[in-house]
Chains A and B, each alone.
Chain A
């Protein structure tokens, strides 16, 4: 199927609520972050919530990195 439309994808295919059901706000090493819980129990970082600019350079908390 090919769609050619100015509408956004979510307007045509509404996203289901449970798509984000595994997204949680967690605390790791005293740093708050929004992370997706994987099926194996690990967390994948989505967004780091910190005011310290150095935290964003920490490789462990880069968006997409997996936490145990």
Chain B
């Protein structure tokens, strides 16, 4: 009797949750699939650093991403990671932290630049084992700058210069772009209105050697599966 009542209760609560779903999403059912051996990490909006941005901004917080990367590294069921980028850039040190974390993962990683991977998005995009960019995506390369209160002493500029050097070295070390070319793009005039730098579009990023290939989801998944297979083969050879 009690069970029946409970069942009735369930039936009553189900239609309301269904209505709620239709109201909030415009759909009712999403298909279920088996566990995935590939995990996805999206870097969206601004890369948030030590200063919390106002809540109406879309941000990627490093305190959310870094533990996830550790979890990926530790979980034996996860064999590969796809990094999805659609970011306008943000905090240099938070961005570099994420890029270093991704590049030091032992598992195969592939990135896809969608829409935009600007400023500090560039080191994050190149930090993976293999990088893709969709044909319509762009990456803005420009010198590092600072907002807020700045102490007007020569040391501040030296500090900024060193910060820029770190970003530049990371990109050069993790991609095929030459230092000369990257500096040319960074200090180019006339590409961005009243600003220095370059907005590099999809195929050009590949041509300059910054990104490995033009492609989207299917290409990235194929490459990641290929990388997973090659690491598996390497491991089995060691055992023999």
Chain A residues within CB distance 8 Å of chain B: 10, 15, 17, 19-20, 23, 25, 32, 49-54, 57-59, 62-66
Instruction: Evaluate contact between B36 and A66: CB separation under 8 angstroms.
Output: no
Knowing A51-B40, A54-B36, say if A20 contacts B56 (CB, 8 Å): yes
Chain B residues within CB distance 8 Å of chain A: 17, 20-21, 24-25, 29-36, 38-41, 54-56, 64, 68, 71-72, 81
Give the complex CA separation of A59 and B30 in angstroms.
7
Instruction: Evaluate contact between A54 and B35: CB separation under 8 angstroms.
Output: yes
Query: What are 9 A-B pairs at a CB distance below 8 A?
Result: A20-B56, A49-B68, A51-B68, A54-B36, A57-B32, A57-B33, A59-B21, A62-B24, A65-B20
Instruction: Evaluate contact between A62 and B40: CB separation under 8 angstroms.
Output: no
B64, closest chain A residue (CB): A49
Knowing A15-B56, A57-B31, say if A65 contacts B36 (CB, 8 Å): no
Q: Which residues of B contact A10 (CB under 8 A)?
A: 56
CB distance from A8 to the nearest CB of B (A): 10
Known contacts A52-B35, A54-B36, A57-B31, then 15 further A-B pairs from the complex at CB < 8 Å, ordered by chain A residue: A15-B56, A17-B55, A23-B55, A49-B64, A51-B39, A52-B36, A52-B39, A53-B36, A53-B38, A53-B39, A59-B21, A63-B24, A64-B20, A64-B21, A64-B24
Instruction: Evaluate contact between B25 and A64: CB separation under 8 angstroms.
Output: yes
Knowing A53-B36, A57-B33, say if A66 contacts B20 (CB, 8 Å): yes
Give the complex CA separation of A59 and B25 in angstroms.
11
Q: Which residues of B contact A62 (CB under 8 A)?
A: 21, 24-25, 30
Give the complex CA separation of A62 and B55 in angstroms.
20
A62, closest chain B residue (CB): B25
Q: Which residues of A contact B35 (CB under 8 A)?
A: 52, 54
CB distance from A42 to the nearest CB of B (A): 11
B30, closest chain A residue (CB): A57
Instruction: Evaluate contact between A54 and B33: CB separation under 8 angstroms.
Output: yes
Q: Which residues of A contact B29 (CB under 8 A)?
A: 59
